[in-house]
Amino acid sequence: MFRSVLLAALVVLTAGCGTGDAPQATPAVAHIQACLDEAPTDSCLANPEADGAYWTAQQEAQSAAYLDAAELCLRAAIDGHKAAREGACVDVYQAYVAEGVRSDLGGRLDETEARRGYAKARIALQRQRSQTFIDGMRADPGSDVPQTID
């Protein structure tokens, strides 16, 4: 845990260094970067401060934070990292898929990456929705389903 906090802080600090042209990493982007760097084969915990609604607002504004997060998550998904299939990246995908088109994120992705990333984002969203439904059914199964037709 300490290592991920330290790594996130390092990402935020180094993002502001240089020529001054690069946008400074937000804590939400740093969270995703740290997760992907530290444990790409593990699930990436969702960030309660940057949920789907947060990323949708960032997407609508085409903020640098949204573009950075979407690029990180989509490239990781294309590379097959589990961290990009669950948790924080799924919240980013909610905004990406909401665009309704395979966005190249302002030229950050080529056409093939945008197409593959869009497909992987939709799959991750569907997987999350299915799991949420299953979890809800297990928690409150409701009435029995008839096994025969009368």
How much is the pLDDT for 98?
A: 85
- pLDDT value at 123 more than 50: yes
> How high is the pLDDT of residue 17?
40
Looking up tokens 């939400």 gives 28
Domain boundaries, the chain: 2-138
Q: Give residue 29's identity as a one-letter amino acid code.
A: V
Tens-digit pLDDT profile for residues 3-22: 343 334 434 434 444 333 44
pLDDT value of position 131:
84
Summarised one tens digit per residue, pLDDT across range 77-101 is 999 999 898 889 999 999 999 877 7
What's the pLDDT at 149?
58
Query: Do residues 45 and 6 touch, judged by C-beta distance below 8 A?
Result: no
Distances (CA, A) of 133 to 61, 79, 87, 120, 128: 31, 28, 16, 20, 9
